[in-house]
Amino acid sequence: MTTAPWRDPALPAATRVDDLLSRMTLEEKTAQLYGVWVGASTDGDGVAPLQREMTAEYDWDELIGQGLGQLTRPFGTAPVDPALGAQALARAQRRIAGASRFGIPALAHEECLAGFTTWQATAYPVPLAWGASFDAALVEEMAGAIGRDLRSVGVHQGLAPVLDVVRDLRWGRVEETIGEDPYLVGTIGAAYVRGLESAGIVATLKHFAGYAASAGARNQAPVRAGVRELADITLPPFEMALREGEARSVMAAYTETDGVPASADPGLLTELLREDWGFTGTVVADYFGIGFLQTLHRVAGSEAGAAHAALAAGIDVELPTLKCYGTPLLEAVRAGEIPESLIDRAARRVLLQKCELGLLDEGWDPEPAGRIDLDSTANRTLARRLAEESVVLLDNPDGLLPLAPDTRIAVVGPRAADALAMLGCYSFPSHVLTHHPEVPMGIEIPTVLESLRAELPDAKVTFAEGCGVTDPDTGGFEEAVARTAEADVCVAVLGDRAGLFGRGTSGEGCDVTDLQLPGVQGELLDSLVATGVPVVLVLLTGRPYALGRWHGRLGAVVQAFFPGEEGGPSVAGVLSGRVNPSGRLPVSVPQVPGGQPWTYLQPPLGLAGEVSNLDPTPLYAFGHGQSYTAFAWEDFTDGPSQIGTDGTYDVSLTVRNAGDRAGAEVVQLYLHDPVASVTRPDIRLIGYHRLELEPGESHRVTFHFHTDLSAFTDRTGRRVVEPGTLELRLGASSADARHTARLNLTGPVRVLGPDRRLRCETEVSGVE
């Protein structure tokens, strides 16, 4: 077949794939529609619940004789040396190609949520920290490095980024998200996609759609969102990542909305995604998601029924391993119960993607080239930069920070001396190595305690753990209080332990009932504050926790969202003053632990008022963050007071570093719509720009607002721009507006299509 048209790289991909499909049997086409998880446990739960029940037995040699669509996590299932793993993957690919008539290799995928999830690979900050950086360019640079590492070992597809918008902070996977605002999630997520795709890796958008709006913040629970919440909050980040990032894959969510599971929803996966948005890539199932249509959702009575529902909806590939798309699907097609055209449709999409990746070419070579280093100096530098930019200084009322270089410091807390305190649940050490305690970490991860001692060599630093993360034992309080009483300042390092399905306090399946600090850590903090010694609270967490109980009683509060392998030095750098904190909150920090669900995107009835005695106002608002320098916002200018419903409007100001050290300010643009035909969030983010400024330096920032950014979904389901009054607010957070422009939109209601503008462009110039 070496001379067949499908082998000719000079022909268009569609022509090649059509020729190939015409030559394939039903079995060979179907084989392209599933993955195989080599090495996954079939005699226990393994990584995920129900893994054993959802994994079919198969004979490897017999299976690959028909070809194979995907290889699931050849590096992310168990510890493997990267170089040896790359060689093993190359051997497996040659074996797969050699076993079938057409010689087509599998497409290998891996997780890459916070770096390549494999042994000895760089553990970057989690996505919530990306959001805290408000630095899309740096996230894109990081994603490019992750993509190059994936390519270097023979991986083709990365299961990231997560574009779910947080709706309830008790949800376990908050750490995997970029934040609670769709504009922030969309811009940062699109940047990650651009970086990953620039390295030739197929980026997979997760989880389409509504997963983070699950009822009661329970993992995989039903979604109670209405059509406007889905259209205006949930979907825009996916649209932006597809249009601006050109992602080539989408993963269907586990959840169901209004009785329809996402994995069986043609309105979502075909009509919206493909017909309205023009997506041409592949849709893959979340792990075991097709089988769950039968076992958990019960909208299918058999594995074949689940396969039919998923294929008809638009899921092209069953992951992580064959179950429904194997024998049950084949038998149903042969019996005339499922049309073969659905197989052809999905196989064509899969093969087009393989063609784009060069996997149909005669000269394809799986052998890795060159030395493999998945935790290079360049990677660690990127990890350090992002970690430093993501640390948020929440409070420093009396200037306790930075710490004096020769002070006496009591470091207390269960997160201070644990390297795993830096990592999220999809980092390899937290995700897989917990099952292999005999295997070393594989990467160097300095703790906060080690890093602070290195950062302040002249300081006298003592340590007491005080308590465990979740252990109810308070026996360590006495030593912690004693060390604190002997010190000039206490640094209390508290927070989460990432894990999976209840094995941690944050992570997939680690949902919580309220936002109290885990275990007895809150009581420990009370004991430390009671000593009268100033306490600096450092939080290493995957979600925000309620801090109102200690407001006004702490010397300073520093928040880091699982900052990765370089998180220890980054946090210590903020404490010492080497790093000027510049992170901003991508999620609100609540006053009280039981005020959920709440995000800042509330209509008037969701805000504090006289109709209820409960005040949901956060302690620290979305976008908040302090600095060791001061910024002056000057010379605000705006445009005419009236524009059309298809018009543009500029707002500008000059930001000056009025302090004595370099720092970064994040200028945020919010929209307030006083009157609309449906209720709207009181304010919402529509633009932002991060400015790096030397002492005395000024930059002028102009936001080019287009009326498309004021659009919303009306009562008929149309996305519209309505005439009327708007306010554009420039602020340092959602609760700190510095300048306001009022404008009136005139003309008819304008209905928008899929070509609407999604972002607010900015322009920056230096000021002498």
Q: Are residues 323 and 193 in the same domain?
A: yes
- Cβ-proximal residues to 606 (8 Å cutoff; 6+ apart), any chain: 598, 616
Tell whether the model's pLDDT for residue 1 goes beyond 70: no
pLDDT at 642 over 70: yes
The rounded distance, in Å, linking the Cα atoms of 566 and 490 is: 22
Q: Is residue 411 domain-shared with residue 337, that is, in the same domain?
A: no
pLDDT exceeds 70 at position 218: yes
Residue 379, domain member (yes or no): no
DSSP bridge partners of 98: none
Identify the pLDDT of residue 243: 96
**pLDDT of 463-493, one tens digit each?**
999 999 999 999 999 999 999 999 999 999 9
Give the domain extent around 251.
Answer: 28-356
Look at 755 and 557; give whichever has higher pLDDT.
Answer: 557
Gap between the Cα atoms of 745 and 252, Å rounded: 38
Residue 110 has pLDDT above 80, yes or no: yes
Q: What is the mean pLDDT of residues 752-763?
A: 94
Residue 597 is predicted with a pLDDT of 72
Q: Are residues 165 and 228 in the same domain?
A: yes
What does the pLDDT read at residue 554?
98
- Tokens 């038998």: give the residue: 331
Across 241-269, average pLDDT: 97
What was the pLDDT predicted at 41?
62
Q: Which of 606, 622, 640 is the last residue of a domain?
A: 606
Is residue 153 domain-shared with residue 267, that is, in the same domain?
Answer: yes
Query: What whole-number distance in Å separates Cα of residue 574 and Cα of residue 556?
Result: 12
Judge whether residue 2 has pLDDT over 90.
no
Comparing 16-20, 34-38, 148-152, 583-587, the range with the smallest average pLDDT is: 34-38
The domain boundary residue, chosen from 591, 606, 621:
606
Per-residue pLDDT of 381-414, as tens digits, reads 999 999 999 999 999 999 999 999 999 999 999 9
Cβ atoms < 10 Å from Cβ of 511: 21
CATH number of domain containing 229: 3.20.20.300
Q: Tally helices (H) and strands (E) across the chain.
A: 20, 27
Q: Is the pLDDT of residue 713 over 80?
A: yes
CATH of the domain at 762: 2.60.40.10
**Same domain as 395, residue 348:** no
- β-strands 719-721, 750-751: how paired? antiparallel
**pLDDT tens per residue across span 277-332:** 999 999 999 999 999 999 999 999 999 999 999 999 999 999 999 999 999 999 99
The model's pLDDT over 602-635, given as tens digits with 9 standing for 90+, comes to 999 899 888 888 889 999 999 999 999 999 999 9
- Are both 537 and 640 inside the same structural domain? no
Residue 522 sits in a domain of what CATH number? 3.40.50.1700
In a domain, 577, yes or no: yes
In which band, very low, low, confident or very high, does the pLDDT at 47 lie, cut at 50, 70 and 90? low
Instruction: Please determine, for residue 44, whether its predicted confidence score (pLDDT) is greater than 60.
Output: no
186 in the same domain as 288: yes
- List, in sequence order, the alpha helices (H) in 461-552: 477-485, 521-530
Q: Is residue 127 part of a domain?
A: yes
Give the pLDDT of residue 209.
95
The reply to whether 614 falls in a domain is no
662/524 same-domain check:
no
Which of 572, 606, 640 corresponds to the end of one domain?
606
Position 437 in a domain: yes
Please check whether residues 505 and 584 belong to one and the same domain: yes
What is the chain's mean pLDDT, rounded?
95
Domain identity same for 527 and 581 = yes
- Is residue 21 in a domain? no
pLDDT recorded at residue 510: 95
Model pTM greater than 0.75? yes
Helix axes 303-313, 327-334, angle to 10 degrees: 80
Q: Which of 257, 321, 241, 266 is nearest to 289 (CA)?
A: 321
Please tell me the total count of domains within the chain.
Answer: 3
Please, what is the angle between helix 521-530 and helix 477-485, to 10°? Answer: 30
- Is the residue at 193 inside a domain? yes
With a cut of 80, say whether residue 422 has pLDDT above it.
yes
What was the pLDDT predicted at 10? 93
Angle between helical axes of 377-390 and 567-576 (0-180°, round to 10)? 50
Joined tokens for residue 315: 């899921």
593 and 635 inside one domain:
no
> Rounded distance, CA 263 to CA 310, Å?
6
Q: What is the rounded average pLDDT of the residues 4-30?
A: 96
| pLDDT score of 596 | 67
- Position 379 confidence tier, pLDDT thresholds 50, 70, 90: very high
Is 32 part of a structural domain of the chain?
yes
The verdict on 570 and 498 lying in the same domain is yes
- Give the type of residue at 290: I
